[in-house]
A and B are shown apart, each in its own frame.
Chain A
Amino acid sequence: MIRIFAWAILVIATYLAISHTNLRKEWPKFDLTNQITNSSNNSSDNIENFRTWLPDTAPSVHASTVIPLKNGNWRAFWFAGSREGAPDVVIASSVFDTQTKTWSEPIAVIDRTRTQQGLLRYISKLGNPLPARAPTGELQLYYVAVSLGGWAGSSISMIQSTDEGQAWSKPKRLITSPFINISNLVKSPTFNFSDDTIGLPSYHEFIGKFGELLQIDPQTGNVINKRRMSSGREAIQPIIYINDADNAIAYFRQTRSHGPAQIITSASTNAGLNWKAGDDLNLANPNSAVAGLTLRNKNRLLVLNDLTEGRHRLTLVASKPKPSSTSNEYSNWEIIEVIENETPDGINPIEFSYPYLAQASNGDIQLVYTWNRKKIRSIFFNESAINKKLDSLLENTSGELK
């Protein structure tokens, strides 16, 4: 009798599990239509090369990101506190008004206490905010929360806003690892899939240092699938360039203990379902984050510390598809602008790091990055100006990055 009862439970379990699985759809394609959403279609006047500092909030600031808002303005996020990893670190935010060209008074979007009350567990520190535009239109903010230990003990949480970032929902924790759900971080921009789910590039830095692509349900914030983008202990913080509905290439920050200090790559030909390691780029990387952006004409931008050691130089480079070949072949990277270039004095650290690029639908591009861990710098670029400069450089390859 008990055995019949056990069989009955198994039959019910199997039925429920398969019913639950049937809800899962086939792996989607990359969505190329809704990457950028705001109301303005014309490039903002005189914003090209506009340089400004984000408002001061704390002695230590880092990991800035930015997203265009529906009304044509921009909202930036960064973490701020007495020092990196301190309990007083909050995720700060400010809005850039494109008419007045000023940043608003910063607000704390979320802090450690609110996170631990929402997640019902102790949280020791926060980091790495990453905004995203859900296919449903809401603003989402993914960020990193740590309960124990260093950044290797991180997990990803998410809050949502229906009013462009003024009020935010209770945090939700993403479960992405079977090992007490630790060692999951975010840094790079999301994208949308054709089935209105969200692609979230993430990475681990605990025992392994590798990249993973998370597929997120925008309604619930649940992880519904994930795919490994690299393995081992040498590649984190993937940025993804999408070529078409199926093809994409990812660039990684290298974390090698030995071996070439170059940007690591991985490619997918089935919309991120499978990834295969490629050759390193011939671009130096001193174990520092890079930022990437695919422009509307498929030209690619990359911001990096093009050094094998140190972070005292920050450069914007660009590349364009080769006209005669398939869309997956690109020209060499050309230097569009050396954004920062200092000489280290060996005493005071000079560091320009954690770049992040975003583009509005009018073509305006904004770069934000950490300036010496003390300030956040913002620079606007104009898409057509970059394209023109790239074309001119490609005619005369003297600016080519070696």
Chain B
Amino acid sequence: MITSLREFIPLIELALISTLLISYLSKGLYKSQSTSSIRLITLLAVFIFLLLPLDAIFTGNLPWKLPLIAYVRAATGDLSISTLLLCLLGLGHFKKIQINTNFVFLIGICALVFYPLALGVSMIDPYAWGYGSIIFISSVTLIAGLFIWRHSLLEGVVISIAMIAWSFQWHESTNLWDYLIDPFLGVWAIIYSIRIFIRSKSSIY
């Protein structure tokens, strides 16, 4: 069974995000600057470890065939391009990024409406638009343009790159929605939106 390098891309992406997440969650363990190189080596080792076919650790059945990250993928599926880019920028320590709250609200509201409809609440299925509806693509373009116009360049570029990735079918999915949003981004946006809403309420009183 021959597997092309392209098919490994989602696994590499997931391993990278998992490593960054581990790095973020464990940053309290490293207090001094002198340990940063050790930390980098450790995270590199984690990244490689996740991609090694060491499934026999779990299954006990030799030979090893499946990368460990494939178990994570079984639970998460492939992440959207938006999630990947925001995680890379947010967790990658490249630069402190500030995400436009309107972008977060938009994803949160979108998730609240989109997922129930996509999971069969009514005969309206917005997920079907993602297979190539010109109206949907125009709407996504308009939203990306609005963010760029309002100087939220990061958000506009993230949406644009998601569209480019869809055009090349970067992942398994042929649906544009899967490149723009995923349940993890949706849940994060809803929680983040609620936090902003509560903070704004408490600051009023």
Contact = CB atoms under 8 A, between A and B. Distances in A.
Contact of B174 (A7, A10, A224): A224
Contact of A120 (B8, B114, B118, B164): B8
Q: Chain B: interface residue count, which band?
A: 35 or more
Contacts of A222: 169, 174
Interface in B140-174: 140-141, 144-145, 148, 151, 153, 156-157, 159-161, 163-164, 166-169, 172-174
A208 to B, nearest CB: 2
Interface in A4-36: 6-7, 9-10, 12-14, 16-21, 23-24
A113 B65 contact: yes
Please classify the interface of chain A as helix (H, G, I), strand (E, B), loop, or mixed, using the class held by over half of its residues.
mixed
A227 B205 CA distance: 49
A177 B131 CA distance: 12
Contact of A6 (B132, B134, B157): B157
B70 interface: yes
B71 A122 contact: yes
Contacts of A228: 120, 123-125, 128
A228 B131 CA distance: 14
Contacts of B115: 178-179
Interface string B1-45: 111000110110000000000000000000000000000000000
A17 B138 CA distance: 9
B70 A226 contact: no
A313 interface: no
B54 interface: no
Given A12-B164, A179-B118, A3 B7 contact: no
Interface residues on A, range: 35 or more
Given A170-B2, A178-B182, A226-B128, A116 B120 contact: no
A120 B11 contact: yes
Contacts of A21: 132-134, 137
Contacts of B173: 175, 181
A21 B138 CA distance: 11
Contacts of A177: 118-119, 127
Contacts of A113: 65
Contacts of A231: 120-123
A222 B173 CA distance: 8
Given A16-B164, A20-B167, A204-B119, A116 B66 contact: yes
Nearest to A123: B74
Contacts of A208: 119-121
Contacts of A207: 116, 119-120
A118 B3 CA distance: 7
Interface string B63-88: 00111001101111100000000000
B163 A16 contact: yes
B144 A209 contact: no
Interface string A173-212: 1010111110100000000000000000000101111101
Given A21-B137, A113-B65, A120-B67, A178 B118 contact: yes
Contacts of A117: 1, 3, 65-66
B172 to A, nearest CB: 5
B147 to A, nearest CB: 9
A7 B166 CA distance: 18
A16 B66 contact: no
Contacts of B178: 175, 178
Contact of A227 (B71, B77, B128, B151): B128
Contacts of A230: 123
Nearest to B65: A117
B98 to A, nearest CB: 15
A79 B69 CA distance: 28
B114 A178 contact: yes
A114 B1 CA distance: 8
A259 interface: no
Given A122-B74, A178-B175, 9 more contacts: A7-B148, A18-B137, A19-B167, A120-B70, A173-B172, A204-B119, A207-B116, A225-B131, A275-B123
10 contacts: A6-B148, A6-B157, A10-B157, A24-B132, A178-B114, A178-B115, A178-B118, A178-B127, A178-B183, A228-B120
Interface of B: 1-3, 7-8, 10-11, 55, 65-67, 70-71, 73-77, 114-116, 118-125, 127-128, 130-134, 137, 140-141, 144-145, 148, 151, 153, 156-157, 159-161, 163-164, 166-169, 172-178, 181-183
* The 4 nearest A-B residue pairs measured at CB: A208-B120, A147-B74, A16-B167, A122-B74
